[in-house]
Structure 1
Amino acid sequence: MRNRYFITIDDLRHARGPIPALSFDGVGPGELAAAVEEALRTPALFERWRALQPDPDAVDEALGATDPQAEVKAQVVDLHIEMEVTTQLPMQVLRHRLNLLIGTRWRLHDLRPA
Structure 2
Amino acid sequence: MAIRSHYYLSIADLAHARGPLPALSYDGAGPDDFAAALRDALRTSGLFERWRALQDDPDEVDPALAGIDPAAQVSARVSDLRIDVDLITDLPMSIVRHRLNLLIGPNWQLRDMRAA
**TM bucket normalised to smaller:** over 0.9
Q: What's 2:27 paired with?
A: 25
What is the one-letter code of the residue matched to 1:13?
A
User: Residues 86-97 of structure 1: matches in 2 within 5 Å?
Assistant: 86-97=88-99
* TM-score calculated relative to the size of structure 2: 0.98
Q: Between Structure 1 and Structure 2, how many residues are aligned?
A: 114
Q: What's 2:13 paired with?
A: 11
Between the aligned partners of 2:105 and 2:18, the Cα distance in structure 1 is 5
1:80 alignment partner, one of 77, 82, 88 = 82
Moved over 4 A (4+): none
The Cα of 1:27 is off from its aligned counterpart by 1.4
* TM-score calculated relative to the size of structure 1: 0.99
User: Residues 35-54 of structure 1: matches in 2 within 5 Å?
Assistant: 35-54=37-56
Between the aligned partners of 2:101 and 2:6, the Cα distance in structure 1 is 18
Aligned-CA RMSD value: 0.4
* Residue 59 of structure 1 pairs with residue 54 of structure 2: no
2:105 alignment partner, one of 103, 106, 114 = 103
The Cα of 1:79 is off from its aligned counterpart by 1.6
Structure 1 stretches of 5 or more lacking a match?
Answer: none
